[in-house]
Amino acid sequence: MKKSITLFFALLLFNFSFAQKKQDYILNSPNGKIQVNIAVNDKISWSVSHDKNVILSPSAMSMTLDENEVLGKNAVVLNSKKETVDASFETPFYKKKSVKNNYNQLTLNFKNDFSIEYRAFDDGVAYRFITKKKKDITIQSEEVVLNFDQNYNILMPYVRDLRNPKDPYISSFEAHYENKKISEFAKDTLAFLPFLIDFKNHKKAVFLEANLEDYPGLFVTNNKDKSGFESRFSKYPLQEKNGGFNNINRLITERADYLVKTKGTRNFPWRIVVISENDKDLANNDMVQKLSEPTKIKDLSWIKPGKVAWDWWNDWNIYNIDFKAGINTQTYKYYIDFASKNKVEYVVLDEGWSLEDDIMKHNPNVDLEALIAYGKERNVGIILWSSWMALTKNTEGILKNYANLGIKGFKVDFLDRDDAKMVSSVYDIAQKAADNKLLLDFHGMYKPTGIQRTFPNILNFEGVKGLENNKWTPNDDVPLYDCTIPYIRMMAGPMDYTPGAMRNATKSEFKPSHSNPVSQGTRCHQLALYTIFEAPLQMMADSPTAYMKEQESTDFIAKTPTTFDETVALDGEVGQFVALARKKGSTWYLGAITNWNSREITIDFSFLEKGKKYEAEIFSDGLNAEKAAVDYKREIITVDSTSKLKYHLASGGGLSAIIQSK
């Protein structure tokens, strides 16, 4: 009998301890539509709903440190804290002057010196780990799980363009989105962020990360039961060698068994789910800005966004001149003259101006100091191209040398990785460039994750399958992609897509060309990209000769700014079409594009100030744009806030306007 009583009390004590350990927490968004449920049991998990619709089923989170300490396994909550933040912050080089930052926050503080911070906004949710260890730590792995209650459709960018077939983590981060079911995720394949889930009830979610510092970027693969995704990260590089394109990549030959050795007290990257009831709102989302660290640059006065006359895409193909075009001083003076005449702020000298593996050694045909002086006289700054490998041979010395010569910035290419070593290198380059008052355009780059707020001298990032691919990929559906990235990739930050083609082709007529490259879709599609695609440093990809032949279009591009004070999402559907309006000063800029399906759209001008008349310069697809994609119509009309105008967008077409008060 005594034995039975003892066993009974032992079981009672065990069940009591288990009940004490299991804890649930609820966090709601300010408007009450989003609810986050956090369960602390033997593991920590969260689930997310929006108006009682399941967005994320219970999904585990944990972080494994050295000595197999798992933050999140049998975790013990010491205390919790809730708070509400309703603030805003200035964003001087963005799509709007300031960003409203309103959220509810729950912080769970756990035994073993770590916390998890959860935030619920009206447009999404996020969490991050925080450690408070006294000594440095090693991160062996992180568990990020995304589970779903149904087999929804996904728009997923798979890792395709491998720089090293043996290492899937060395990639250009360029891919068209594959539209398939969760269960159809390609086996043994990685995908990168951001990606989108379509919930079939007009709601969509996009998954991102922010504040990626001293840590590798997040990839996903399918989980075992194909009901969602789980995380994968590149391990820390130990040994590297030259390789890849023109031998200017750094290929990893040996990786560690850990992600990163890092400070014991720090914040880790945010894991983000953005939720939208209307597709158009995804094209005007600020979540990455809201979850990023404020600027570390005190004086921003020297940072000048603008447009760039670019040489590489058009293959230095200028003509009707009395010298041999190419990578030489005369050609670049011609580009500078063009830029000056059209009030284009910069000219970039792409590959070839120096040795590719040593940018301190110049091409003898390019007199760099003469070009800097020539540009200065004409109010045109010079930006230099460099591979990441060449720049990092002596980052501080190289940047200081060229800043002293009068260079305005660098276009850094072929990073092609987002392991912790590369991410730290990006921060290092950003800081040293800022110290020398140099702008940066990271080409050949992973998607932005908020460093553009922390270091606003970084004006652009690639991590997008841009116009350059039209030179060699005949089977890509570019208008479809153009109508998809504003809702997914652009949510992460600016895109070095490099628009501006003056040679435009219909779907049946398009073919790649190296020296006379062509865009898919109409002229107005290209013009609209200057308003739709965010890029504080925006390329003009075609040649000065092509632009001078099409001066009317060139004037329109030149008048379109690259940063704005206000943005309004007018209409759109992921993969189908998008229409945005942006304001700079008192002038509005409007852009709309469609995929290969022609369509009628109605532009509602209610974003204009009531009671005022405006003059709108409108470029719309011409009557013959279905056969001749270069065909457009330019008109000047009067509009006001009550105007609602219908326009026909041709196949692969577009619409663009500059609207000024009368």
Backbone φ/ψ region at 524: left (φ over 0), alpha (ψ -120 to 50), beta: alpha
Q: Verify whether residue 293 is a known catalytic residue.
A: no
How many Å apart are CA 296 and CA 220, to the nearest integer? 31
How many Å apart are CA 49 and CA 297, to the nearest integer? 38
Q: Verify whether residue 635 is a known catalytic residue.
A: no
**Distance separating the N- and C-terminal Cα atoms of the chain:** 97
How many Å apart are CA 623 and CA 648, to the nearest integer? 9
Residues 83, 86, 87, CA angle at the centre, nearest 5°?
130
Q: Which residue has the tokens 């007018």?
A: 570
Q: Does the N-terminal peptide bond of residue 194 adopt cis geometry, omega within 30 degrees of 0?
A: yes
User: Residue 593 is encoded by which pair of tokens?
Assistant: 């594009």
Q: Which residue has the tokens 């002293």?
A: 404
Q: Sign of dihedral through CA atoms 297, 301, 304, 305?
A: positive
CA atoms within 13 A on the CB side of 413: 20
DSSP string across 350-415: -TTSEETTEEEEE-TT--HHHHHHHHHHTT-EEEEEEEHHHHTTSHHHHHHHHHHHT--EEEEE--
Residues facing 84 on adjacent strands: 104
How many Å apart are CA 570 and CA 588, to the nearest integer? 13
CA atoms within 13 A on the CB side of 202: 6
Q: Which one of 345, 356, 418, 468 is the catalytic residue?
A: 468
Q: Which one of 117, 123, 209, 413 is the catalytic residue?
A: 413
Q: Is 118 exposed, middle or buried (0-12, 13-18, 19+ CB in 10 A)?
A: buried
How many Å apart are CA 582 and CA 568, to the nearest integer? 6
Name, in order, each residue with C-beta under 8 angstroms of 219's C-beta and a sequence gap of 6 or more: 159, 169, 190, 191, 192, 193, 231, 232, 233, 234
In eight-state DSSP terms, residue 344 is: -
DSSP string across 528-564: HHHHHS--SEEEE-S-HHHHHHTHHHHHHHHHS-SS-
How many Å apart are CA 332 and CA 371, to the nearest integer? 7
CA 221 to chain CA centroid, nearest Å: 21
| Cα distances (Å, whole numbers) of residue 266 to 55, 179, 230 | 29, 37, 24
How many Å apart are CA 572 and CA 206, to the nearest integer? 16
In contact, 25 and 109? CB cutoff 8 Å: no
In eight-state DSSP terms, residue 101 is: E
Name, in order, each residue with C-beta under 8 angstroms of 82's C-beta and a sequence gap of 6 or more: 27, 104, 105, 106, 107
Element (H, E) at 10: helix 2-21
Catalytic annotation, residues: 413, 468
